[in-house]
Structure 1
Amino acid sequence: MADIDIERKKKSPLPWILGLLALLLLLFLLMRSCGDDDQAENTGTVVDTTTSQTVAPVAPMPATDTTAAATGAMPAAGAAAGAGWIAGVLGGQMAGQTASGQATVPSTPSDRGFWVEENGQRVFAVLQEPMEQIKDIDPGQTVRITNAKVMRGSESAQIPESVDAEAKTTASQQQYFLLVPSNGVEITAGGNTTAN
């Protein structure tokens, strides 16, 4: 009898490799879609690390608000991400109290009224007394505000009569605004930081 050599056929590893690649692709797509959900569900409590207060969650600002841009009014609930002293003001816990902090000035719509912004959130500020003899507040400056009284927009009647009508109207349209003594504003960067 003749000896017949029988060799077993080796199976190709290609199906295993293709299966593993398909599984990795599926895991990647699943992780990517789950990552988008985490950003949309970020509505937890915000902790203000500068003042050790816990403030309410802040609703995101609409992408475009032509009415607010035309009138100079900003949404009262504040804007997106980031905690800070302005978030505390807009959260409402500080109504009737004084607030202090540093922020940039994006615009000055009137002689005695100006916006301050920090971490994408804005609040309107009104000067109790004129400052023009000392220094001007201009857009692009960084200011340090101290002893500003946090007021509701409905309390705008308490703004001194010497304040221009545009500042009073803008303040009355806000949920909260700041009434700042003239010695409570210090220009820390941009423009004239010392008395004229």
Structure 2
Amino acid sequence: MAEIPVEKKGGLSWLWILLAVILIALLVWWFMGTDDDDEADVTSTAQVEETVEPETVDETPANDTSTAGTPGAEAGTLAAILANPDAYYDEEFAGEVDVGETLTDRGFWVEQDGNRMFALIVDEPREAPVDINPGMELRLTDAEIRRTSSLSDVEGQALDADTRRIADEQSVILVVDEEDIEILSPQ
């Protein structure tokens, strides 16, 4: 008989092929998985846009600094607050406003885009109290939107009779600390 040389092949080549197939399957799964996430984000965004109610849409242009502030809890505009005060009670307001008229030492009217709201200053001892006069432009930060029934919670000295009467006639007021008022332009 003739001798036929038989050589034993390495037994690990099948392992390398199996690892390559698994690696290719993982890469395909990973790339296909990211496409599904993008589609899910677009779908969920479209669903959110469809469920927004017209009353809650803020139509202020993106470059308008009158409502600049930290996003989230702050109310956008006086118009939005006055249109639906129940949605904004105990929230914070930040933005630029004009002083309409000063009625008392602690109370004055703020105006923004033709809308007007009564504002109260928290009266706390300060070296140089803020002097608010009609025609001034102010930037308010951390002003609280409150019900007039919560006026007993306002810090500082008790409100005088005129301030209390005017505030009681309003459905919603702004309560702002002196340190949260920046005068942008004097009268």
CA distance in structure 1 between the partners assigned to 2:186 and 2:57 by the alignment: 30
1:48-107 deviations in Å (ceiling 9; x for gaps): 234789xxxxxxxxxxxxxxxxxxxxxxxxxxxxxx511232222210111111110010
Aligned residue in 2 for 1:182: 178
Bigger helix share: 2
Which has the larger displacement, 106-115 or 164-173? Answer: 164-173
What secondary structure, in the 3-state scheme, does the structure 2 residue paired with 1:106 have? Answer: strand
CA distance in structure 1 between the partners assigned to 2:174 and 2:127 by the alignment: 19
The aligned amino acid for 1:86 is L
Match of 2:120 among 119, 122, 126: 126
Aligned residue in 2 for 1:11: none
Higher radius of gyration, 1 or 2: 2
Give the C-alpha shift of residue 169 in structure 1. 1.9
Aligned residue in 1 for 2:104: 110
1:141 is aligned to 2:151: no
Gaps (5+ residues) in structure 2? 1-53, 61-66
1:23-172 alignment to 2 at 5 Å?
Answer: 45=55, 47-48=57-58, 49=60, 50=67, 85-90=77-82, 91-92=84-85, 93-129=87-123, 133-160=128-155, 161-172=157-168
The aligned amino acid for 2:181 is V
What secondary structure, in the 3-state scheme, does the structure 1 residue paired with 2:102 have? Answer: coil
TM-score normalised by L of structure 2: 0.56
Gaps (5+ residues) in structure 1? 1-43, 54-83, 192-196
CA RMSD of aligned residues (A): 2.6
CA contact (8 A) 1:155 1:172 kept: no
CA distance in structure 2 between the partners assigned to 1:163 and 1:190 by the alignment: 26
What secondary structure, in the 3-state scheme, does the structure 2 residue paired with 1:88 have? Answer: helix
TM-score normalised by L of structure 1: 0.53
CA distance in structure 2 between the partners assigned to 1:164 and 1:132 by the alignment: 22
CA distance in structure 1 between the partners assigned to 2:136 and 2:160 by the alignment: 22
CA distance in structure 1 between the partners assigned to 2:90 and 2:129 by the alignment: 28
1:13-24 alignment to 2 at 5 Å?
Answer: none
Give the C-alpha shift of residue 164 in structure 1. 2.4
Q: Quickly say closer, same or farther: Cα 1:96–1:135, change in 2 above 3 A.
A: closer
CA contact (8 A) 1:111 1:164 kept: no
What secondary structure, in the 3-state scheme, does the structure 2 residue paired with 1:138 have? Answer: coil
1:140-162 deviations in Å (ceiling 9; x for gaps): 00011111111012222223443
Give the C-alpha shift of residue 132 in structure 1. 8.2
In the comparison of the two structures, how many residue pairs are matched?
A: 119
What secondary structure, in the 3-state scheme, does the structure 2 residue paired with 1:175 have? Answer: coil
